[in-house]
Amino acid sequence: MAQPLTILNTSSHSLQLMQIQSYIIENTVTSKFNGHGIEFIPRSAIYALTTKTNIEAVVNQDPDLKTIYFPAHSKAFFSNRVFNEAKRMFIMVMTLRLGMDFLRIALRQSHSGDNHLPLSYAFRIHDENNVFWDDGDVVRFLDAQEMVCAPTFRARQFGQKAAFRSSLPIVQADKMEGPGDEVVWRVRFHQDSFIGGGWGQDMEQTWFTVKMFESENEAFEDIMWARGMFGFTCEYVYYLEVTWKEDNDQKLCAAG
């Protein structure tokens, strides 16, 4: 669970940026799974960073908003909208130092906000005068989606989806040799990433056996399906999870 963070309204914009970026670095989880790097910000850190008072403090000190006519009531409305609709987008913008005016304009576009993440790479933004923002900044913004899109899984649900392999909430992974020399994985998930199952704070100490399939239908035909705890599709691969204690006959063959 991430520690609380307080951003003062009286702090300078540069100090706020340093504070936020340090917090993000400290709370970013990195690991490796199946030959691919994983990097994500846990849900508890996202919520701790994006409190309403923290967002208001950043909006009030943002230099871009100070250069345009943006009265106090507009700042309050914008801060409230970010808090309710764009916590993850706020973090993306702050990580890249794009400024609150970028986020303000991004939220003017249709189908924008956290509920629409991940956004398509066709996404572009323009201001009230129909002036489009630099494409390079927008692409960097879209690239940053992965770190805030770690999914939350539910026990006993098998049709779940994860947007990015690079932000699967895995904190440790070991390659295993299963029955018949088939390759499976032993993994631990971040405690923020799971609902149900009765693990609570012990979630990160719970090992799962993970087997990959081309589809959910293929997984359904596998002997492991009957003992599955949950499953999800990510980037055209289906992942079936079984609690490790049920499969302790498998052995390590290499680190992930």
Q: What is the pLDDT of residues 214-248, one digit of tens each?
A: 999 999 999 889 999 999 999 999 999 998 654 44
d(CA 135, CA 148): 21
Does residue 48 sit in the same domain as residue 19?
yes
Does residue 139 sit in the same domain as residue 157?
no
Provide the phi-psi class of 206: left if phi over 0, else alpha when psi is between -120 and 50, else beta. Answer: beta
Does residue 173 sit in the same domain as residue 192?
yes
Does residue 121 sit in the same domain as residue 236?
no
pLDDT attached to residue 1: 82
Alpha-carbon torsion angle 20, 47, 69, 145, nearest 10: 80
Does residue 194 sit in the same domain as residue 76?
no
Q: How confident is the model at residue 250 (pLDDT cuts 50, 70, 90)?
A: low
Domain containing residue 128:
13-148
Does residue 158 sit in the same domain as residue 50?
no
d(CA 43, CA 17): 20
Does residue 191 sit in the same domain as residue 121?
no
Reply yes or no on whether the pLDDT at 88 is more than 50.
Answer: yes
Does residue 31 sit in the same domain as residue 126?
yes
Whether 102 contacts 63, CB under 8 Å: no
Does residue 87 sit in the same domain as residue 187?
no
Domain boundary among 148, 169, 195: 148
pLDDT attached to residue 39: 98
Please indicate, yes or no, if residue 119 is contained in any of the structural domains: yes
pLDDT tens profile 25-69: 999 999 999 999 999 999 999 999 999 999 999 999 999 998 887
Q: Which two tokens stand for residue 155?
A: 């026990």
pLDDT tens profile 141-195: 999 999 999 999 999 999 999 999 999 999 999 998 766 667 899 999 999 998 8
pLDDT attached to residue 204: 72
pLDDT attached to residue 246: 46
List b or e across 50-87, with b for residues whose CB sees 16 or more CB atoms inside 10 angstroms: bbeebbbbbbbbbeebeeeebeeeebeebbeebbebbb
Does residue 129 sit in the same domain as residue 19?
yes
